Structure 1
Amino acid sequence: MSLAFEEVRLRLPHIELAAHLYGPEDGRPVLALHGWLDNAASFARLAPKLEGVRIVALDLAGHGHSDHRPAGASYAIWDYVHDVLQVAEQFGWARFSLLGHSMGAIVSVLLAGALPERIERLALIDGVMPYTGEAEGAPQKLGEALLAQMALAAKRKPVYGQFERAVEARMRGVGAVSREAAEYLAQRGLMPVPGGYTWRTDSRLTLPSPLRLTRAHAEAFVRRLSCPTRLVLAEQGMLANQAELTRLLEGSPIEVMTRPGGHHLHLDDEPGAELVADCFKAFLLAP
């Protein structure tokens, strides 16, 4: 596995995050944001192929080697947006680009819509909009979330007797991945415990959202994008064949490029990473 990165810890005003740094210090600034329950290793194949850019691949809060949020706090999608902005502030980046996969792509769109003056370019991989919910379903969703929070203390993370068992479990998880991709994610995402290994991720990440943006809210963020935006859609990904997404993208400023592969096409194998890199190399360096 490639070690072509520098490991750093970023002490923000409210939390400490871990990250991998790729590329020259004077390269074009890019923050890379992984998907739900993944970590910075999501970009282990792709980042070294994006020459000329300075990539900060974060472990988002509660993931990988980053801190968990304090007791009583939650993992609302807009809290990640705040974290990302604080990271940019720490690096002194007034303007920067975002490279986001899945949930990381969603966070990227929200930040670019909220503060368009800060974002130069958006490079998105199989992700655009958050899951949405309409007003009539909000009371039920909040009730379900509250009950899940109350029950969390009685639940225990799975323990895998062998590293390979954890890798196999990740291969079958949400957004199924190749064995090699699962190994990348597991190397960073596992920690030893009595009896074997378990995931470092905060258990609260699996709780249902107490409140979701409506579709109108989510679409408003997409419509407000003003920077060049390129989306790589995976032919066998999680967004394939979604009629509503197709309708949204047709009326948006987002340039769509469809490529063969699954939801983690940028990590599953080297050919997939090359395909995604070819979509973003010149794009991220353009004036």
Structure 2
Amino acid sequence: MTFSVEETRFSLPHVELAAHLFGPEDGIPVIALHGWLDNAMTYARLAPKLKGLRIVALDFPGHGHSGHYASNSSYSMWEYLEDVLLVAEKLGWERFSLMGHSLGGIISTLLAAAVPERIERLALIDGLIPFTGEADGAAKRLGDALRARLAVRDKRKPVYADLERAVQARMQGVVAVSREAAELLAQRGLEPVPGGYTWRSDIRLTLPSVMRLTFAHVEQFVRSVQCPVSLVLAAQGQMAVEPRIASLLEGRHFDVHTLPGGHHLHLNEEAGAQQVADCFNRFFAVT
């Protein structure tokens, strides 16, 4: 597939971020956030189908064409939250909407809850809350994370002899995607190295989290979201297997749509992207 997109960069105090720009300059301001180990190309099918939006689709730090955090930093949700606000400052956007897939949806929800005065609307794709962990497992999780961080310096990212092997690997990743989706993500996510290609992503992104929020924490975050929300759930997606999602949404005035497809329904094929676009176009058209 082919599409027209503008590339831009944001120089933050601690990292430089890359982004794709979609839509008219005077459109509704939206910062779009991708999922874990994906990149801004996750919106390649969806963004051109959205009407009247000025979309800034970021590469998170450590992903795509963005820079990596310093060696003494981690890739915590809290750091990403600040980065999004710093990008909004660069754009001069006091209030703006967020669009997020998977991890991007989680970051969007947390940010909307934390700074409700800044967020106009949330458009979420199969992402709402982070994985949770209760207090009785916190010490073990911390120990496992610390040991993994010490060991990561001895790890190396895989090198693929050619692009086809890299695409095949992405198709069969932790979350499987279609060939076209894998090709789009690989287009922005790969770099040439001796012997072939490897992923641009920082290897530290694969490390386990040091600490997780409890379910009580995430309940409070969801309850603290004040802006309108359109949540697209994939019928065969990751959130479909979370039994507590229904209780989280109970009493919330969220616009919820369950659509056929997997976790990357907005990227895997044109039909899925159009269905998501139909939901979001109606959502953003409401004044």
Q: Per the shorter chain, which TM-score range?
A: over 0.9
TM-fit CA distance, 1:212: 1.1
Q: Counterpart in 1 of 2:8?
A: 8
Encode CA deviations 1:70-89: one digit per residue, 9 max, x unaligned: 01100111111110111111
Which AA in structure 1 matches 2:46? Answer: L
Mapped contact 1:28–1:285 kept (Cα < 8 A) = no
1:211 equivalent to 2:211? Answer: yes
SS of corresponding position for 2:131: coil
Q: Counterpart in 2 of 1:139?
A: 139
TM-fit CA distance, 1:146: 0.4
Q: Counterpart in 2 of 1:250?
A: 250
Q: Counterpart in 1 of 2:278?
A: 278
SS of corresponding position for 2:19: strand
Q: Counterpart in 2 of 1:60?
A: 60
SS of corresponding position for 1:106: helix
Which AA in structure 2 matches 1:218? Answer: V
Q: Counterpart in 1 of 2:86?
A: 86
The CA distance in 2 between the partners of 1:132 and 1:152, in whole Å, is 24
TM-fit CA distance, 1:242: 2.5
The CA distance in 2 between the partners of 1:11 and 1:284, in whole Å, is 29
TM-fit CA distance, 1:117: 0.8
Encode CA deviations 1:218-274: one digit per residue, 9 max, x unaligned: 111100111000100001111114221111112323221000001000000000000
**TM-score normalised by length of structure 2:** 0.98
TM-fit CA distance, 1:214: 1.1
Encode CA deviations 1:9-49: one digit per residue, 9 max, x unaligned: 11112211000000010000000000000000000000000
1:181 equivalent to 2:196? Answer: no
Which AA in structure 2 matches 1:36? Answer: W
User: What pairs up with 1:157-236 in 2 under 5 angstroms?
Assistant: 157-236=157-236
**TM-score normalised by length of structure 1:** 0.98
SS of corresponding position for 1:157: coil
Mapped contact 1:127–1:239 kept (Cα < 8 A) = yes
The CA distance in 2 between the partners of 1:260 and 1:51, in whole Å, is 23
In structure 1, the gaps of 5 or more residues are none
Mapped contact 1:97–1:284 kept (Cα < 8 A) = no
The CA distance in 1 between the partners of 2:77 and 2:2, in whole Å, is 30
Which AA in structure 2 matches 1:26? Answer: D
TM-fit CA distance, 1:283: 1.1
The CA distance in 2 between the partners of 1:84 and 1:49, in whole Å, is 24
SS of corresponding position for 1:252: coil
Q: Counterpart in 1 of 2:23?
A: 23
The CA distance in 1 between the partners of 2:232 and 2:175, in whole Å, is 16
In structure 2, the gaps of 5 or more residues are none
Mapped contact 1:223–1:253 kept (Cα < 8 A) = no
Which AA in structure 2 matches 1:22? Answer: F
SS of corresponding position for 2:218: helix
The CA distance in 2 between the partners of 1:251 and 1:61, in whole Å, is 35
Which AA in structure 1 matches 2:34? Answer: H
TM-fit CA distance, 1:96: 0.5
TM-fit CA distance, 1:3: 3.3
Q: Counterpart in 2 of 1:238?
A: 238
Aligned residues: 287
SS of corresponding position for 1:232: strand
User: What pairs up with 1:256-275 in 2 under 5 angstroms?
Assistant: 256-275=256-275
The CA distance in 1 between the partners of 2:238 and 2:167, in whole Å, is 21
SS of corresponding position for 1:257: strand
The CA distance in 1 between the partners of 2:156 and 2:123, in whole Å, is 36
1:148 equivalent to 2:148? Answer: yes
